[in-house]
């Protein structure tokens, strides 16, 4: 089940509207200080974060679970032979600690400004969001750069050190690691390679992949040095000498046994007294797996799918060489994306920008792109499928009701990604091995195992997932302007529509996507989704040339709307009930957003106007409760409501989510954005870094054309 920002959530306005007081960090944060700051966030297994409110030189990076899953990643510099720790929490005799003065976060980068004596450092972590170019988006790589400038008018010598530990390759420090050193074919890139000695393909421990290799890389220069070995020894060597000795520790051992680290040291081009930034030293971090997914087959063993990047590059080292050489283009692309989001947000609700900037890389990093092998063993580069890990709430693969809230990012960025996400689900449905009449909840219980549910025992959400599949299939066809997929799977889609016709108007007791709440019957919001799903099938039939079915499903959906209104509207006609016949109940009717997204216009303006007026009486400091069963809410659904609201309500909801986003006190502190939270105090619950925060793009998805 699933983070980003729209234009600066100004901290002063937050306080003016009553944000709970919290100690501000001792540095400037632009646009605001989130609960966790993305460092290297590209895939479900390359996901490194820094706890918000913590300085880069005062904390270890972590996986998205926070402090319980530390990642060894350390940094030092020497300025005129004086050593400073710049990243991590290691301690070496003779070190001082850099002072952090500023943090800036954009849609794909986090920049930290540090002061070390009379030199200012810029540490930049760039996780490219290249949703318009899948050959780049599929690369499991992230940049890390260091540059410096003089602040006293004098010239300085600045030496830079960075290392990572073997903690990146397993969720259990008792497991044995091995490592090596590789050079690119062109001789311009060099890499440390780290992996488990006894890999477990398609297995996880504590959300770490137990298969694949971690590569820590940089560009070859005359002043570059490197080493592999015990953490304290490598860091002490740099602090003392400003370079490394080329040690290649071949005593492969447990990750936690004398903590082997893999280090580079280099010297920045002379830092002159003119105050200009030096050219950066560019590093990359990447986690490579092949195969990347195992995918269900109709008969026999599951297929082992290769990562899409292998259709372009033969090896990880070749991909790394390209990636390092492409750094300047990546920076330009990141600036373009950030400008696009900023400009689009500024045209609407200015406060939206910040949330989207923090969440773009997070939400897109839940996906990986894979391709099958042809009969001759070569890769079929035309058969691209996308696989999404639910993250934190479960490890399910392509959870349909997670893809649904994620969808606004798809339509805003690249609708072809939507086609690729739907393909594994539709292909599985067409195999005829799933026994239920409704759509499957997900395509696998544990990422990266997309092995289906041939026993039919996936989490049952009959109307939810069936309507979702029809809505998303139509949206993908509309936005991509390509009907190939809906033509290919028309029979399956038609069968699902028939199921909805029989079950939608009076939903039996069942779960919806908000499965942390109880199953209920006569669920108004769920019935609305089912009606939209039926109408979506009418449009699918129209696009594929079946006029009779187009008219049939369109008529059924239109006929259901007034009957649904009569069942769902409160007796005083002030709001839609959560469940039919319970006037005391209410909730966020976010499924009406799908009606607007698809351009169906099934529900009359009176419904939207009534809900707008009602919601305005319910907005609290951190938003509106999800429904009257509990005192919590979901940020994605709040922003879906904002997207179909009038301007006043839209601003109120965006402001409320912005206030919540800026909370860095426990339990929010230290982990990425949580989409499920308590409305009274803004305390996030157990959902972290989920792809559903792509739903924060709901306003932009309705208003602006996609990036490609």
Q: What is the DSSP string of 67-81?
A: TTSB--EEEEEEETT
pLDDT band at 24 (very low <50, low <70, confident <90, very high): low
Among residues 292, 326, 360, the one where a domain terminates is 326
Q: Tell which wins on pLDDT, 658 or 502.
A: 502
422 & 506 share domain: yes
pLDDT of residue 214: 99
506 & 388 share domain: yes
Mean pLDDT of 142-151: 98
Count how many domains the chain has.
2
- This prediction's pTM: 0.94
pLDDT band at 19 (very low <50, low <70, confident <90, very high): very low
pLDDT band at 275 (very low <50, low <70, confident <90, very high): very high
Tell whether 14 is covered by a domain: no
Q: Give residue 240's domain range.
A: 34-326
Average pLDDT, the chain: 92
Q: Tell which wins on pLDDT, 64 or 524.
A: 524
pLDDT of residue 35: 85
Nearest partner of 405 among 357, 468, 354, judged by Cα = 468
441 & 420 share domain: yes
d(CA 260, CA 251): 9
* pLDDT score of 454 more than 70: yes
* pLDDT score of 169 more than 70: yes
Q: Tell which wins on pLDDT, 309 or 670.
A: 309
Angle 37-43-44 from CA coordinates, rounded to 5°:
90
d(CA 598, CA 478): 8
d(CA 577, CA 29): 42
For the beta carbon of residue 154, count every other beta carbon within 10 angstroms.
Answer: 12
pLDDT band at 651 (very low <50, low <70, confident <90, very high): very high
139 & 246 share domain: yes
pLDDT of residue 358: 61
| Least confident span in 149-158, 475-484, 530-539, 682-691 | 682-691
The fraction of the chain above a pLDDT of 90, given in percent, is 84
The fraction of the chain above a pLDDT of 70, given in percent, is 94
304 & 345 share domain: no
Among residues 326, 351, 375, the one where a domain terminates is 326
pLDDT band at 208 (very low <50, low <70, confident <90, very high): very high
Q: Tell which wins on pLDDT, 56 or 106.
A: 56
d(CA 409, CA 692): 9
* pLDDT score of 17 more than 50: no
- Check: CB of residue 96 under 8 Å from CB of residue 327: no
Mean pLDDT of 317-339: 96
Among residues 277, 302, 326, the one where a domain terminates is 326
271 & 383 share domain: no
400 & 445 share domain: yes
Tell whether 465 is covered by a domain: yes
296 & 401 share domain: no
Tell whether 256 is covered by a domain: yes
238 & 352 share domain: no
- Check: CB of residue 443 under 8 Å from CB of residue 450: yes
Instruction: Provide the phi-psi class of 392: left if phi over 0, else alpha when psi is between -120 and 50, else beta.
Output: left
Tell whether 558 is covered by a domain: yes
Tell whether 333 is covered by a domain: no
8-state DSSP, 364: H
pLDDT of residue 330: 97
CA-based radius of gyration for the chain: 26
449 & 308 share domain: no
Tell whether 679 is covered by a domain: yes
Q: Tell which wins on pLDDT, 78 or 14.
A: 78
pLDDT of residue 32: 81
> Would the CA dihedral through 369, 374, 378, 380 be positive or negative?
negative
* Phi, psi for residue 504 in degrees, rounded to 5: -75, -50
- Check: CB of residue 395 under 8 Å from CB of residue 328: no
pLDDT band at 23 (very low <50, low <70, confident <90, very high): low
pLDDT (tens digit per residue) in 379-393 = 999 999 999 999 988
- Check: CB of residue 310 under 8 Å from CB of residue 379: yes
Tell whether 611 is covered by a domain: yes
pLDDT band at 677 (very low <50, low <70, confident <90, very high): very high
Residues ≥6 apart with Cβ < 8 Å to 364: 129, 131, 137, 409, 413, 691, 694
d(CA 43, CA 488): 30
Give the three-class secondary structure for 412: helix
Please spell the DSSP secondary structure of 217-249, one letter per residue. Answer: EEE--TT-EEEEEEHHHHHHHHHHHSS----B-
- Sheet with strand 158-165: strands edge to edge: 96-97, 82-87, 73-79, 158-165, 260-267, 225-230
* pLDDT score of 668 more than 80: no
Tell whether 19 is covered by a domain: no
- Sheet with strand 303-307: strands edge to edge: 385-388, 367-371, 303-307, 293-295, 449-450
Query: How remote is the C-alpha of 131 from its chain's centroid?
Result: 12
Length of the chain as a residue count: 708
436 & 558 share domain: yes
* pLDDT score of 435 more than 60: yes
List the CATH number of the domain containing 226: 2.70.98
d(CA 51, CA 61): 7
| Least confident span in 7-21, 197-211, 512-526, 575-589 | 7-21
Cα distances from 650 to residues 7, 341, 632, 645, 646, in angstroms, run 14, 18, 19, 6, 6
396 & 291 share domain: no
List the CATH number of the domain containing 668: 1.50.10.10
Mean pLDDT of 408-428: 97
Residues ≥6 apart with Cβ < 8 Å to 301: none
pLDDT band at 142 (very low <50, low <70, confident <90, very high): very high
């Amino acid at each position: 089940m699933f983070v980003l920002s729209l234009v600066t959530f100004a901290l002063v306005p937050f306080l003016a509207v009553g944000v709970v007081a919290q100690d501000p960090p001792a540095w400037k944060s632009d646009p605001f200080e989130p609960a966790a700051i993305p460092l290297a966030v590209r895939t479900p297994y390359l996901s490194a974060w820094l706890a918000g409110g913590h300085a880069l030189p005062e904390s270890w990076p972590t996986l998205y679970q926070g402090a319980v899953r530390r990642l060894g990643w350390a940094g030092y510099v020497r300025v005129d032979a004086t050593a400073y720790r710049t990243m991590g929490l290691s301690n070496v005799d003779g070190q001082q600690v850099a002072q952090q003065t500023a943090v800036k976060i954009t849609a794909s980068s986090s920049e930290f400004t540090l002061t070390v004596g009379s030199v200012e450092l810029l540490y930049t972590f760039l996780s490219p969001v290249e949703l318009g170019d899948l050959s780049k988006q599929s690369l499991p790589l992230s940049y890390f750069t260091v540059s410096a400038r003089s602040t006293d008018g004098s010239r300085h010598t600045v030496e830079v050190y960075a290392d990572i530990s073997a903690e990146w390759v397993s969720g259990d420090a008792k497991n044995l690691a091995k490592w090596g050193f590789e050079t690119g074919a062109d001789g311009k890139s060099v890499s440390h390679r780290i992996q488990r000695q006894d890999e477990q393909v398609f297995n996880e421990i504590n959300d770490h992949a137990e298969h694949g290799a971690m590569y820590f890389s940089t560009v070859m220069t005359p002043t570059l040095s490197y080493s592999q070995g015990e953490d304290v020894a490598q860091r002490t060597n740099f602090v003392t000498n400003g370079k490394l000795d080329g040690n290649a520790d071949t005593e492969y051992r447990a990750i936690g046994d004398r903590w082997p680290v893999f280090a580079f040291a280099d010297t920045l081009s002379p830092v002159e007294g003119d105050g200009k930034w030096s050219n950066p030293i560019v590093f990359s971090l990447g986690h490579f797996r092949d195969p990347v997914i195992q995918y269900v087959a109709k008969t026999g063993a599951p297929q082992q799918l290769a990562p899409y990047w292998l259709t372009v590059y033969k090896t990880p080292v070749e991909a790394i060489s390209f990636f390092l050489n492409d750094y300047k283009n990546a920076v330009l692309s990141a600036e373009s994306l950030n400008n696009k989001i900023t400009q689009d947000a500024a045209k609407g609700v200015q406060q939206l920008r910040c949330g989207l900037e923090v969440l773009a890389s997070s939400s897109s990093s839940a996906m990986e792109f894979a391709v099958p092998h042809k009969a001759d063993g070569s890769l079929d580069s035309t058969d691209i499928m996308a696989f999404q890990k639910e993250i934190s709430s479960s490890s399910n693969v392509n959870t349909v009701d997670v893809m649904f809230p994620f969808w606004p990012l798809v339509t805003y960025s690249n609708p072809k990604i939507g086609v690729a996400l739907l393909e594994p689900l539709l292909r599985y449905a067409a195999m005829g091995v799933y026994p239920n009449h409704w759509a499957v909840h997900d395509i696998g219980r544990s990422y990266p195992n997309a092995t289906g549910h041939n026993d039919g025992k996936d989490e049952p959400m009959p109307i939810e997932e069936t309507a979702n599949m029809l809505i998303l299939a139509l949206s993908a066809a509309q936005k991509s302007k390509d009907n190939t997929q809906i033509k290919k799977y028309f029979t399956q889609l038609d069968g699902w529509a028939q199921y909805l016709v029989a079950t939608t108007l009076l939903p039996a007791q069942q779960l919806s996507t908000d499965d942390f709440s109880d199953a209920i019957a006569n669920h108004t919001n769920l019935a609305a989704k089912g009606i939209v799903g039926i109408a979506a099938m009418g449009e699918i039939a129209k696009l594929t040339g079946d006029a009779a079915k187009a008219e049939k499903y369109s008529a059924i959906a239109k006929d259901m709307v007034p009957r649904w209104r009569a069942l769902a509207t409160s007796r005083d006609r002030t709001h839609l009930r959560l469940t039919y016949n319970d006037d005391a109940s209410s909730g966020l009717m976010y499924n009406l957003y799908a009606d607007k997204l698809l351009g169906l216009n099934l529900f009359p303006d009176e419904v939207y106007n009534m809900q707008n007026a009602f919601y305005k009486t319910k907005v609290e400091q951190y938003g509106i409760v999800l429904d009257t069963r509990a005192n919590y809410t979901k940020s994605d659904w709040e922003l879906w409501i904002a997207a179909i609201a009038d301007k006043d309500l839209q601003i109120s909801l965006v402001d409320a989510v912005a206030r919540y986003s800026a909370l860095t006190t426990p339990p929010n502190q230290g982990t990425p954005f949580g989409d499920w939270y308590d409305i009274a105090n803004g305390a996030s619950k157990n959902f972290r870094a989920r792809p559903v925060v792509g739903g924060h793009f709901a306003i932009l998805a309705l208003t602006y054309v996609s990036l490609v």
